[in-house]
Structure 1
Amino acid sequence: MSGFLPISRSEMLEKGIDRFDYICVTGDAYVDHPSFGIAIISRVLEAQGYSVGIIAQPDWHSVKDFKQLGEPRYGFFVTSGNIDSMVSNYTVAKNPRTEDSYSAGGEAGHRPDRAVIVYCKLLRSAYPDTPIIIGGLEASLRRFAHYDYWDDAVRPSILIDSGAHLLTYGMGENQTIEIARRLATGEPVKNITDVLGTCYVTANENIPLGLVNLPSYEMVCENKKEYCKAARLEIDEHDAISGRALLQKHGKRAVIQNKPMPPLTQEELDKVYSLPYMRFYHPSYEQKGGVPAIEEVEFSITHNRGCFGHCNFCSIAFHQGRRITCRSEDSVVNEAESFVKNPRFKGYIHDVGGPTANFRKPSCKKQLTVGLCKGKKCLAPEPCAALEADHSEYLHMLRRLRAIRGVKKVFIRSGIRFDYLLQDKNDAFFNELVENHVSGQLKVAPEHCSPSVLDAMGKPHIEAYEAFAKRFYERTRKIHKEQYLVPYLMSSHPGSTLKDAVTLALFLKKHNIRPEQVQDFYPTPGTISTCMFYTGLDPYTLKAVYVPRESGEKALQRALLQYFNPNNHALVKQALIKAGREDLIGYGEGCLIPPFIAKKQDFAGANAKNRPHSGLRSLNDRQVPPQKGNGGFRYGKAKQGKPATAKTTKKPVQK
């Protein structure tokens, strides 16, 4: 246990610590692995010479657990964990989840709703004068007034609700180092108002000059166009080069956001990943079977940060940012070589990825000097003319990893941006990806097939996916392998009408896709899609966007994605009639369902000899508790023969 940071009084005394300099509070079980934000922040603090304690998943019904390690000399760093606590606790249907992959044994119920707010109030009760700094995804995405899906209302900044002194947004290593240094020198936390990548609260009469004024909390609550204006400014100014400082008034106080902190340099990022992580959960969780979230990430490697793909429903752009930063090849190879010395390592590196696996360079040189373009996307609806698609460095790194003695296979399980890959004129990466790095299934994210829905999502049109799929299966057949694409698909996204859902069902039938699970759009704080969901407007054009809100319509759209399931017959029939597509009800080859269902074989259809493949829907990368394994939808047939069967699990795990 000596390699882990202390989580109890006994471990604290064992290390000879009478008082911690800083204490980190997290809503996750303590897993000392760099895929956990709190592990990085705590190790970064330790590397600066501070003593650090961990309070993991404290009982929030009293202050007892918050006092177990005593009062730190300088302050608390607080996070809800790797994902928003509300997403962790509830499904998109707002039903309580029965499992939590970030808790020992996968048990649910170990973190409160709105964990950051709850933790901060209890800390304030226990230690009224101790500085509290909040960060992580929940704090970062809720730093301004935001629509909250679970309340179905606009909530104020989490800084206002929590009473914390400072908020670090984005990837917070350098913010943490600067704040910790200044607190340790005795500077009052109320004076620390100029650190890049942070937010603080001040009285309206103390607002600095020269800030961009967002519509106030009161305005965005009352006027949806003002909410759109705020959402667009928040996204557009989240750039380390072109981003400006922002303010948003909340009554007599204002939330001030300083300019973004520049991304870590490659040297700094390498240093972060070289810190002495134990790369496993704390031994105290062993009696419950450990923490499920470690299973997929223990022998996975994160090589990059950021995503210039910027899908509208994804939180990455508003958290990590759109600019790509990456570790050096040597750093990645050194991490892989350390796996070989681990007795649990079986020779398989599960992933070499990040937000998007095949992004390793900026999309163009211009963004390095002037920042990323505001109000535009690098890849959608079509690739920008300035895009530079180059996989050579990523490929070289993968080759080095494959050559390590003791490594049997190197897989890529993070999402591949297929539209970017298609722009690379060199086929070397594509060929080696298909030949060496697919573990039976490859994750890709077309999301939908309707042009209007894809435009609302900020995604390329379906023709790009079809071109990629064709190449993938041609190459797969050529090398005599049986492997499949795992296309993510989403129902009920803003812009998706019932007719669009029918179009998607027909697309699935045409391409022999049978998803076993489907994902409804989940409105999470800070995304453009959530703004559309709340306001019914596109924040960049202020044009009306159709939003499927009612549970009944969502059920119809979701059922259409599983039109082949006999249990969905009544819903699919209702949806087709409502959409005016009764022509799809019948026994013809082009029909989706028969008029009546007496036996399950009525669903066999005209294409029984070319039976579609099925698979388990994975929920990674969208702030949703992930699933174990690499299941998903399958597309087409790579070769004749029995398709691989996706394994299911009751214990969700993570990206």
Structure 2
Amino acid sequence: MQELQLSDWLPTTNKEVKIRGWQELDVILFSGDAYVDHPSFGPAVIGRILESYGLRVAIVPQPNVNDNLQDFVKLGRPKLFFGITAGCMDSMLSNYNANKKRRDKDAYTPNGDIGFRPDYATTVYSKILKEKFPDVPILIGGIEASLRRVTHYDYWSDQLMPSILETSGADMLVYGMGEQPLREVVRLLQKGVPFSSINTINQTAVLLDEGEKIPKNSNWEDVEIASHTVCLNDKKAYASNFKVIEQESNKLAARRIFQKIGNKTLMINPPYPTMTESEIDASFDLPYTRLPHPKYNKRGPIPAFEMIKFSINIHRGCFGGCSFCTISAHQGKFIASRSQESILKEVDTVANMPDFKGYLSDIGGPSANMYQMKGKVQAICDKCVAPSCISPVICSNLDTSHKPLTDLYQAVDKHPKVKKSFIGSGIRHDMLVPEFNKNADPKELDAYTEEVMTNHVSGRLKVAPEHTSDPVLKLMRKPSFSYFHKFKERFDKINIKNKLNLQLIPYFISNHPACEVEDMANLAAETKDLGFQLEQVQGFTPTPMTVATVIYYSGYHPYTLKKVNTPKTRKEKDEQHRFFFWYKDENKAWITKTLNRLGKTDLLQRLLPEGDKPSAKNWRKNKPGKTKDTYNDAVPFNKRKTKATFKPKGESEAATNVRSKKKFKKKKR
């Protein structure tokens, strides 16, 4: 690989701007993340996209908001606009956990250091720039802006907030993946159209002042949702808004959405069609260095980069539509897949990096096994308003063939420098069960499962049943837990057939809307019966733009407007949380008392059969609510920590520990 020069990165200082011989900049980007020039990091993608349009682009990563604000003026005034993103995560999710306590690490900062990203970063950056450069347009984007584009519930302040366009004072918002709308914005600006006149571009939102004429577009139908003021006073009206927002976000022929905010009108233009293969290939084929900016060399590694350094993203989007997940709200429910040629080209680039040891950490995406999947008849998809293509059942029009993915894995492994490629992203196990995925050839599903288990897993396979309660799973838009049983049967057969000794790692969520204490007790009993011993818990964290968050705040399901109970208090959350750890002595007395009170003696017998009950002494020492376990919350699915282990029947805890240590040592070698 050719030695890189400082000018190979987008400039971050005046010195770097001068190295390129530039006298002025067209666009200056501000980001809440450290600058990693890699296609998995949104700020880098936007910078490279703008650069590909012939613009002179610089980036100011993690500007200091606690000094004289020099970082906001050091590069001067851009010719076209400022671009702002909070980074790859909502800044509040980056800074706080489910208990609203500050995190002790920031994965997108060198050394994991905290304090380099302000709360509500998009709004903070925008207000500062508006004060310093009031006449320069500001365009905001990224996941924080995208998911806060309408009236939304903010968990950390426990209040409804208006569109981030109102709070930030920005001039335009790009929602979703930004390549397509930015291309049109730049095209019009380069033609000389004033920024203030650019308001009919797909996948953008603007605030119209009182009396301002609504732009016409004969191709769009319009819909108005309840105003911000109405939402503040009527939780049911707020809930009803979300059905419109979610459906229009995922339709291929969507309506333009209007919402009153005080004396202004929010206008959200319909999204672009899903990116074509050539479009997404072009984005990934840009000249990334794939490395953090050299300015961080002495500050320590950036955890998020270290995690994906040798990984390959093969597609975007997710048609699962899970009620607690924001992926489809930001990336869309339709899958945009890269060509095999583009992927193999990136594999070759990674394989030739100086420190590559032959192991690709992930060949995946939001859900690892949705690559190249789409509707068989496009016209049917064009009219569809369903938020999920696989809930409550898999759509008969969905092509769920796993053969392109199996072929891709095998093509990647043929590279002479690749010793092994892993699947680190979460796999939709339900799509591998013929009883659920009736569209697919069972032999093809088994072939994919066996390919993954034999060649792409290092000891553990991650799947996400999320719960065992049918009512909770229905609200989550997840299939019955019975399909997990079916998948485990197939997993065990392949495990035995190939003498693999792999572990199956299921993920579960507590405190989700509709989840009651007895549901968690049943979850504990079901998983115990299967031989699982849960280690950590994923606590539900309300994030903007999800069905579950709307229910959490309003108490109503946005599609039915029926009331749904949600655990909210710390006591309720802790009680649900404790059932994950039924095997710990400090929880046994509380579980015994709780299940007896609820009349669930059958569950009690399954969890704590006679002879495994706590002593009175332990009960006094370990009162309810005194658990020391912590929530492993708000971590993206493909970055969550392990939450469960499968212990073979008859194996002691000590033997399990020895086996785990041996695997760890073997993996390190």
Q: Which residue in 1 is equivalent to 2:3?
A: none
Q: Which residue in 2 is equivalent to 1:645?
A: 660
Q: Which residue in 2 is equivalent to 1:351?
A: 362
Q: Which residue in 2 is equivalent to 1:256?
A: 267
Task: Indicate whether 1:117 and 2:123 are aligned.
Answer: yes
CA drift of 1:97 comes to 0.7
CA drift of 1:19 comes to 1.6
416, 424, 445: which one pairs with 1:405? 416
SS in 2 for 1:256: strand
Task: Indicate whether 1:56 and 2:61 are aligned.
Answer: yes
Does the CA-based 8 Å contact 1:7-1:55 persist in structure 2?
A: yes
Q: Quote the Cα distance in structure 2 between the aligned partners of 1:593 and 1:178.
A: 66
CA drift of 1:191 comes to 0.4
Q: Quote the Cα distance in structure 1 between the aligned partners of 2:451 and 2:269.
A: 44
Q: Which residue in 2 is equivalent to 1:194?
A: 200
- Relative to structure 1, the CA distance from residue 8 to residue 471 in structure 2 (aligned partners, 3 Å threshold; closer, same or farther) is same
Which residues of 2 match residues 78-97 of structure 1 at below 5 A? 78-97=84-103
35, 47, 50: which one pairs with 1:45? 50
Q: Quote the Cα distance in structure 2 between the aligned partners of 1:142 and 1:187.
A: 28
Which residues of 2 match residues 576-655 of structure 1 at below 5 A? 576-581=595-600, 590=609, 594-596=613-615, 620-621=635-636, 626=639, 631-635=642-646, 637=648, 642=656, 644-645=659-660
Identity of aligned residues (%): 38
331, 343, 346: which one pairs with 1:332? 343
Task: Indicate whether 1:389 and 2:400 are aligned.
Answer: yes
Q: Which residue in 1 is equivalent to 2:167?
A: 161
Which residues of 2 match residues 494-509 of structure 1 at below 5 A? 494-509=513-528
Once the two structures are overlaid, the 10-residue window that deviates more, 636-645 or 543-552, is 636-645
Q: Which residue in 1 is equivalent to 2:112?
A: 106
Does the CA-based 8 Å contact 1:491-1:501 persist in structure 2?
A: yes
451, 474, 478: which one pairs with 2:497? 478
Does the CA-based 8 Å contact 2:97-2:634 persist in structure 1?
A: no
Q: Which residue in 1 is equivalent to 2:628?
A: none
Q: Quote the Cα distance in structure 2 between the aligned partners of 1:79 and 1:119.
A: 9
- Relative to structure 1, the CA distance from residue 646 to residue 10 in structure 2 (aligned partners, 3 Å threshold; closer, same or farther) is farther
CA drift of 1:429 comes to 1.2
- Relative to structure 1, the CA distance from residue 293 to residue 65 in structure 2 (aligned partners, 3 Å threshold; closer, same or farther) is same
Q: Which residue in 1 is equivalent to 2:584?
A: 565
Q: Quote the Cα distance in structure 2 between the aligned partners of 1:322 and 1:96.
A: 32
- Relative to structure 1, the CA distance from residue 536 to residue 84 in structure 2 (aligned partners, 3 Å threshold; closer, same or farther) is same
- What per-residue deviation string (whole Å, max 9, x for no partner) do you get for residues 133-187 of structure 1? 0000000000000011112111000001111110001111011122123233332
Letter of the 1:6 partner, please give it: P
- Relative to structure 1, the CA distance from residue 223 to residue 619 in structure 2 (aligned partners, 3 Å threshold; closer, same or farther) is closer
Q: Which residue in 1 is equivalent to 2:627?
A: none
Q: Quote the Cα distance in structure 1 between the aligned partners of 2:146 and 2:430.
A: 29
252, 259, 265: which one pairs with 1:241? 252
Q: Which residue in 2 is equivalent to 1:532?
A: 551
- Relative to structure 1, the CA distance from residue 226 to residue 131 in structure 2 (aligned partners, 3 Å threshold; closer, same or farther) is same
- Relative to structure 1, the CA distance from residue 487 to residue 585 in structure 2 (aligned partners, 3 Å threshold; closer, same or farther) is closer
11, 22, 31: which one pairs with 1:26? 31
- Relative to structure 1, the CA distance from residue 65 to residue 417 in structure 2 (aligned partners, 3 Å threshold; closer, same or farther) is same
- What per-residue deviation string (whole Å, max 9, x for no partner) do you get for residues 535-581 of structure 1? 11111111111111111010010011111123434553454345333
Q: Quote the Cα distance in structure 2 between the aligned partners of 1:592 and 1:139.
A: 55
Letter of the 1:207 partner, please give it: I
Q: Quote the Cα distance in structure 2 between the aligned partners of 1:335 and 1:536.
A: 46
Q: Quote the Cα distance in structure 1 between the aligned partners of 2:297 and 2:306.
A: 14
CA drift of 1:283 comes to 1.6
Q: Quote the Cα distance in structure 2 between the aligned partners of 1:227 and 1:581.
A: 37
438, 449, 465: which one pairs with 1:430? 449
- What per-residue deviation string (whole Å, max 9, x for no partner) do you get for residues 416-442 of structure 1? 111112223222212211111112111
Larger % of helix: which?
2
CA drift of 1:297 comes to 0.7
Q: Quote the Cα distance in structure 2 between the aligned partners of 1:370 and 1:513.
A: 39
Q: Quote the Cα distance in structure 1 between the aligned partners of 2:477 and 2:611.
A: 29
Q: Quote the Cα distance in structure 2 between the aligned partners of 1:618 and 1:398.
A: 31
Once the two structures are overlaid, the 10-residue window that deviates more, 63-72 or 359-368, is 359-368
Q: Quote the Cα distance in structure 2 between the aligned partners of 1:164 and 1:395.
A: 45
CA drift of 1:633 comes to 1.9
104, 111, 132: which one pairs with 2:138? 132
Q: Which residue in 1 is equivalent to 2:153?
A: 147
Letter of the 2:85 partner, please give it: T
Task: Indicate whether 1:378 and 2:389 are aligned.
Answer: yes
- Relative to structure 1, the CA distance from residue 273 to residue 357 in structure 2 (aligned partners, 3 Å threshold; closer, same or farther) is same
Letter of the 2:574 partner, please give it: A
CA drift of 1:244 comes to 1.0
Q: Quote the Cα distance in structure 2 between the aligned partners of 1:364 and 1:421.
A: 18
Letter of the 1:152 partner, please give it: D
Structure 2: gaps spanning 5 or more residues: 1-5, 623-630, 665-669
Q: Quote the Cα distance in structure 1 between the aligned partners of 2:31 and 2:360.
A: 28
Task: Indicate whether 1:468 and 2:487 are aligned.
Answer: yes
- What per-residue deviation string (whole Å, max 9, x for no partner) do you get for residues 201-250 of structure 1? 10243235652001111111111221121100000001352311111111
- Relative to structure 1, the CA distance from residue 53 to residue 118 in structure 2 (aligned partners, 3 Å threshold; closer, same or farther) is same
Structure 1: gaps spanning 5 or more residues: 604-615, 650-655
Letter of the 1:25 partner, please give it: F
Q: Which residue in 2 is equivalent to 1:489?
A: 508
CA drift of 1:363 comes to 4.4
Q: Which residue in 2 is equivalent to 1:13?
A: 18
Letter of the 1:176 partner, please give it: L
- What per-residue deviation string (whole Å, max 9, x for no partner) do you get for residues 305-325 of structure 1? 111111010001211111111
TM-score of the pair, normalised by structure 2: 0.90
Does the CA-based 8 Å contact 1:563-1:592 persist in structure 2?
A: no
Q: Which residue in 2 is equivalent to 1:611?
A: none
- Relative to structure 1, the CA distance from residue 567 to residue 180 in structure 2 (aligned partners, 3 Å threshold; closer, same or farther) is farther
Does the CA-based 8 Å contact 1:220-1:226 persist in structure 2?
A: yes
Letter of the 1:33 partner, please give it: H
Q: Quote the Cα distance in structure 2 between the aligned partners of 1:92 and 1:9.
A: 40
Q: Which residue in 2 is equivalent to 1:517?
A: 536
TM-score of the pair, normalised by structure 1: 0.92
Does the CA-based 8 Å contact 1:355-1:621 persist in structure 2?
A: no
- Relative to structure 1, the CA distance from residue 639 to residue 372 in structure 2 (aligned partners, 3 Å threshold; closer, same or farther) is farther
CA drift of 1:634 comes to 2.6
Does the CA-based 8 Å contact 1:482-1:638 persist in structure 2?
A: no
Aligned Cα RMSD in Å?
2.7
- Relative to structure 1, the CA distance from residue 263 to residue 102 in structure 2 (aligned partners, 3 Å threshold; closer, same or farther) is same
Letter of the 2:493 partner, please give it: E
CA drift of 1:369 comes to 5.6
Letter of the 1:404 partner, please give it: H
Task: Indicate whether 1:414 and 2:425 are aligned.
Answer: yes
Task: Indicate whether 1:278 and 2:292 are aligned.
Answer: no
Q: Which residue in 2 is equivalent to 1:312?
A: 323
Task: Indicate whether 1:74 and 2:80 are aligned.
Answer: yes
Letter of the 2:184 partner, please give it: E
Aligned length: 634
- Relative to structure 1, the CA distance from residue 648 to residue 222 in structure 2 (aligned partners, 3 Å threshold; closer, same or farther) is farther
Q: Quote the Cα distance in structure 2 between the aligned partners of 1:50 and 1:69.
A: 15
Q: Which residue in 2 is equivalent to 1:216?
A: 227
Q: Quote the Cα distance in structure 2 between the aligned partners of 1:46 and 1:324.
A: 26
- Relative to structure 1, the CA distance from residue 332 to residue 258 in structure 2 (aligned partners, 3 Å threshold; closer, same or farther) is same
Q: Quote the Cα distance in structure 2 between the aligned partners of 1:33 and 1:165.
A: 28
Task: Indicate whether 1:447 and 2:466 are aligned.
Answer: yes
- Relative to structure 1, the CA distance from residue 595 to residue 431 in structure 2 (aligned partners, 3 Å threshold; closer, same or farther) is same
- What per-residue deviation string (whole Å, max 9, x for no partner) do you get for residues 360-403 of structure 1? 23443244664363245322233233333201111111110011
